[in-house]
Structure 1
Amino acid sequence: MADSWDVYVAFCQRRGSDPLHWMLLLANPGSLHCTWYHVVGGPTKDRDYERKIQAGKRMDSFGISRKQYIGSIAASEINKVKSAVVAVPVQDCQRWIVEVLAVLERKRLVPSGTSVHYYNQMELSRLGKLEDGWVLLSGSSDDSD
């Protein structure tokens, strides 16, 4: 087992006009495989959000357009990452990643300012959840005031 894990934020291939799908990746340095931490589902899939933890996935998956290296975490700290991933409520993948990064910052596992950096890259979702379903939020280019 490796002494450390490299941490990345991955940006998946764009699908239509949907916001980019973001994932957290953890990999042993130099490995071709990693674990994907992400949230799937939501309004664009017409189903509830679901947290996914998928080990043994490819670092160079065709579904990933690019990834950004965040830092390295000691292998002895890996359970802190898993607890952060489980503790953050499921929601839009970009917001979820930002909140997971904020937890990891508080645990001093990623550099200070990481969550703000990614918060500033978030794309606005045009859908919101109501008690009885999904609704288009204001802010689309078709809105007129």
Structure 2
Amino acid sequence: MKALIVGGLSAVILAAGLAAQAQQPDIEDQIEFRQAGYKFMSWNMGKIKAQVIDGSVEYDPLQVQAAANAIAAISNSGMGALFSPGSSRAEMGEITALRPEFFQNLDEAGRLGRNFNVAANNLASEAASGDQARIRRAFGEVGQTCKACHDEFRFSRQ
């Protein structure tokens, strides 16, 4: 925090940081919010998949772009703040699929999260191009980043 404090902005930055801490939801809400975010991203991935991968729905470039933008927006929303110690299955039971190893490997979790963020932003950029081949590649990259994190830190839901 001190590295960010510059001149007259220090009070504003400090106040923003304190407000963010005061607004931290409780563990149950964190789990609910992150699950909602991932479900919303999954729904949008499904729209892209149906139009660009499967072809089961007629391609609508504006709808694909909107779906990709929604995914990128959520990935840029600071969802990492919804992963507090005590929010894994070890403490919370079946309401979450988060493995406790997540908190033992925060560097890896952060790396996987950053990879997802880059891939989601790239998908939004490629969707704006309207080029379905480029969108397919970017969609695959997002899927790979999702899978990498699930394989490492998520219990499967059967």
Q: TM-score, normalised by structure 2?
A: 0.29
Structure with the bigger percentage of helix: 2
Structure with the bigger percentage of strand: 1
Q: TM-score, normalised by structure 1?
A: 0.31
